[in-house]
Every structure is written in structure tokens, then in C-alpha cells.
Amino acid sequence: MSLRAAVTEAKRIVVKVGSSSISGANAGQIEPLVDALAAAHARGAEVVLVSSGAIATGMPYLQLDARPSDLATQQAAAAVGQNILIYRYQESLRRYGVVAGQVLLTAGDLENATPRSNAQRAMERLLGLRILPIVNENDTVATHEIRFGDNDRLAALVSELIDAELLVLLSDVDALYTRPPQLPGARRIEHVPFDDDLAGVELGDIGAAGVGTGGAGTKIAAAKLAAASGTAVLLTSTAQVAEALAGEPVGTWFEPAATSR
């Protein structure tokens, strides 16, 4: 099987999108993102969306021009923004007759046996009912993930939790490059073997400043974590999500560890 054929044949897919891709001026990207998710859902795949964006979406409703620096205001913005974010996704999914299910987790939930088992059972049931789970960090009560890395690690942990075959990490940049893509000599990395430590890669940020918290380093760490559990990872831009889920040769492919799957 070719690398990208593995995309279209994947039965269980996690897609992670960052705050800067679906909030503020980019809120209009929700509809084409949903188009791509619905197409994968329609071909029979079980699809989970891990979406950041609660704080960024809530900011205008609190008359905030920039991401708040204090934890209490971040939590307040998340409480307002999460409600609006899920509404926007469900309104877009309605065009396809797909129902979303909101799942709020913390990374700690997936690292401790009892809440992990509860989360796994709920996710399996949602997928069995053909619901499209939309997962986000529970920013209103969590203190760690707000400072952590834009849900990249959470997406990898969710992929491991549900034994996903594919994790698609979306950002504002179309792939991983040998150095920040705006710099001279930057080359796109198409394929990362499982044992490649990417030692020669010069990292820069992925994502719009002041909205999200992720960067290339968190994307790579999440990709490596998911790949170690046997999940293939594709890193690309939100603008190319339709092409990515259709198996076209975009982005950077992280080869998974060999498993018995």
C-alpha cells in the first residue's frame, strides 16, 4: 500500500486543528474543514476532530483584542468561546446530516487509568453511533494545557486512546520544512521515517502569533508520540485538509512504528 493510499483506506482518523486556523479572520475556514471531514465520514471512516479555539473564539465576546495573560480570564474566555465554537461546527455539519458530540478532556484524563477508561468507552460509543466527536481541552478547569501547546499532545493521546490509523495535524503551514519556510533555502520534508530524529531541522513557529500556542516543536513531538503507538501522522495546512484526506501528496508524512494492526 502506498503511503497516501493509507489515508483513504484509514477507518479511524483524528484531525487536529489549531486556534489560529478557525478563529478571528479565519473563522470562515470552518466550513471547508467540515466539508473535508464530512467527505471522510461519508466514505465510512470514523472521524474525530480535536479542535483548539475556545479561548480565541471567546475573546471578542469579552471585548479582548489579544489573548489574555491571566489564567482566570483565559478560563472565562474558554467558557464563552467553547459554546460558540461547537455551535459553529454543528451548524456547518448540519448540511451533511452529521451530528457532533462535544468531548472536553485534559491530558491528565488520558494519563490516569480510570478517567482514561471512561473517556475510551464514551468515544467508542459515539463513534459506533456515527457521531463526530469534537474534542477540546477543558480549558475552563484545566491549568496545564492552556500553557501547553495548542492541543497537539492531546490529539496524539486521543489517537492512541481510540487506536486511530491516522492523525492529521493542521496548522497555518503546509508541511514541515528543513528550516522556517520563509527563510532562504528552506525545503519541504515529504517523509519522516519512524527512526528519524530530525536532528538537522531548524525549528520555527507554526501558527499565528497571539492566538494559538503551538509551534513546529509541539507538532513534531505530537507526531512522534502518535507514531510510536502505531498511528501514521500527516502534518499539513488547514487550507489543504481536503487534499490531505483525499490522499493527495501534500504535507509531511510521519511513518508509524510497525504494529500488529
107-148 residue pLDDT tens: 778 888 999 999 999 999 999 999 999 999 887 776 654 444
Residue 50 pLDDT exceeds 70? yes
- Give the residue with greater pLDDT, 249 vs 144: 249
92-to-33, 76, 103 alpha-carbon distances in Å: 9, 25, 18
In a domain, 47, yes or no: yes
Q: What is the CATH number of the domain that holds 157?
A: 3.40.1160.10
Task: Calculate mean pLDDT across residues 75-99.
Answer: 96
Please name the residue that has the C-alpha cell 467558557: 79
205 is annotated as contributing to ligand binding: no
User: What pLDDT is stored for residue 258 in this prediction?
Assistant: 81
52 is annotated as contributing to ligand binding: yes
In a domain, 39, yes or no: yes
Q: In 29-61, which positions are buried (b, 16+ CB within 10 angstroms) versus exposed (e)?
A: bbeebbebbbbbbeeebbbbbbbbbbbbbbbee
What is the number of structural domains in the chain? 1
Residue 229 pLDDT exceeds 60? yes
In a domain, 259, yes or no: no
User: What pLDDT is stored for residue 243 in this prediction?
Assistant: 96
Residue 21 pLDDT exceeds 50? yes
109 is annotated as contributing to ligand binding: no
Cα–Cα distance for residue pair 159/92, rounded to 1 Å: 24
As a whole-number percent, the residues of the chain with pLDDT over 90 amount to: 66
In a domain, 154, yes or no: yes
In a domain, 158, yes or no: yes
Residue 215 pLDDT exceeds 60? yes
Q: Distance from CA of residue 120 to its chain's centroid?
A: 18
In a domain, 250, yes or no: yes
Structural domain for 64, as ranges: 5-254
Which of 71, 80, 227 lies closest to 164, judged by CA? Answer: 227
Please name the residue that has the C-alpha cell 501558527: 207
In a domain, 27, yes or no: yes
In a domain, 44, yes or no: yes
171 is annotated as contributing to ligand binding: yes
Residue 208 pLDDT exceeds 60? no
Per-residue model confidence as pLDDT tens digits over 161-201: 999 999 999 998 999 998 888 888 889 999 999 988 787 78
172 is annotated as contributing to ligand binding: yes
Q: Distance from CA of residue 229 to its chain's centroid?
A: 17
pTM of the predicted protein model: 0.92
16 is annotated as contributing to ligand binding: yes
Poorest-pLDDT segment among 85-94, 99-108, 128-137: 99-108
User: What pLDDT is stored for residue 1 in this prediction?
Assistant: 55
